[in-house]
Structure formats: C-alpha cells, structure tokens
Chain A
C-alpha cells in the first residue's frame, strides 16, 4: 500500500507570495492532518480534515488555510508569506473514526520543505 505523498517536496517562495501544498493520504484513509515543523517551535498542529470538513484547528493565523476533497486529498494554503513561515510542512493521514483504536495511528508523509526568502 502506498504511503502518504506530499507535493512538492521542496519549494522556494518570496515574502508576500502565496503557496499551496498538496497531500494524498493512504488509500482508504479519510482523515488528514497538517503540521508545521520549525527548529524553534518544533512540531505544531495546524488543522485536521475529515469528510471535507475541518474538525480541529491549531493556533495559527488566518493566513493558513486548508481544504479536503471528496477523494480525501487535501491542500493547505499559506497567503502573504512571511520569513517565519519557512518550515517543514507535514501531512498525516488516519482511518475514519469509529473503527478499532488502531485506526487512530497517524501516518506521516515526507513533508514539503518551504523556504521563504
């Protein structure tokens, strides 16, 4: 079974631009979560989507947004990029809730490394 895929793997943008990152979950997984990882703040939760609905949101400004499509693929968007948005953006997928407890394991993709100059 293919793992979580994220595209692109590397991206360089300039301040003020916007960026869209893509995540394809493991086949059959319907929940997708996004995380930001920086050296200073570590791994921080951005938001979670299930059945095209945002179910949970971390403490990030409104410049960070996301969506999920009917095939469970997800995108996140960052508008008006700032230097501090340079980070590794990780996507994780898991099975829908209601299954066995092992459904709640999250499987992470390799991440998209975003550099803002």
Chain B
C-alpha cells in the first residue's frame, strides 16, 4: 500500500502558485519523497525528490517539514498544461538495490483554470 495521503483533487487559477500537500507520517529515516505527475493519457513524469532539505528545480519546489511527516510540492506559476494527477511517493534509495518498485497512491488531480 502507498505510504502517503493526498487530497483527491485541487483547483488552482492560472498564473497562481499551486501548493500540493502530502502526508507521510510513517516515513522512515532512509526514505526519500518523490513527486511524479501524469498528464492525461501519458506516462508519469518525474518532477522532483528530496530527503529532508527543501529542493528546487526548473519545474517545482519541494518543501519537507522538519519532522519529515509531510511535504508540499509548489508549482510557482501554474499553467493550463500543469493540469494533471500529481503523485507523492516515498521510497528507499539504496546503492545497488532494487529501485523499480514505485508504489503509487491515488494522487491529487490538479485542475488549473483560466
């Protein structure tokens, strides 16, 4: 089962910041938080990941609380093309170990409206 809890849906106005929350209260010390999104009828797309520090890349920012029990994905200026299902996943990353088993929950369906 997925170890994360996300709201089923959210709306955001175009041009505004979209803040997508994720609860992972049972996260272990060696588990990373990964975010993917899936635009309708396409394969999931990697967005960002982090362990305990906040992370930022060209797509988004990831804010992880100090106790690591929750995180927020921030899309700073949402566009219509950001409409998608966003998945928050926790996973162990071990050098040389199996990396293939991403456990997807139901995600958050983000609708960006004009």
Contacts and interface: CB of A to CB of B under 8 A. Distances in A.
Q: Do A and B come from one complex?
A: yes
Interface of A: 4, 31-33, 35, 42-45, 47-50, 55-56, 58, 90, 92, 94, 97-98, 101, 104-111
Contacts of A48: 98-101
Given A90-B44, A108-B45, A111-B43, A45 B99 contact: no
A106 B101 contact: no
Nearest to B34: A105
Contacts of B102: 33, 35, 43, 45, 92, 106
B59 interface: no
A108 B43 contact: yes
A43 to B, nearest CB: 4
A45 B102 CA distance: 7
B97 A97 contact: yes
B30 to A, nearest CB: 12
Interface of B: 32, 34, 42-46, 49, 87, 93-106
A47 B99 CA distance: 11
A106 B46 contact: yes
A47 B104 contact: no
Given A45-B103, A90-B44, A109-B43, A98 B95 contact: yes
Contact of B106 (A42, A58, A107, A110): A42
B104 A43 contact: yes
A45 to B, nearest CB: 5
B99 A90 contact: no
Given A56-B101, A101-B93, 15 more contacts: A4-B43, A42-B105, A45-B100, A47-B100, A50-B98, A50-B100, A55-B98, A56-B98, A90-B44, A92-B100, A97-B96, A98-B95, A106-B46, A106-B102, A110-B43
A55 B96 CA distance: 11
Contacts of A4: 43
A56 B104 contact: no
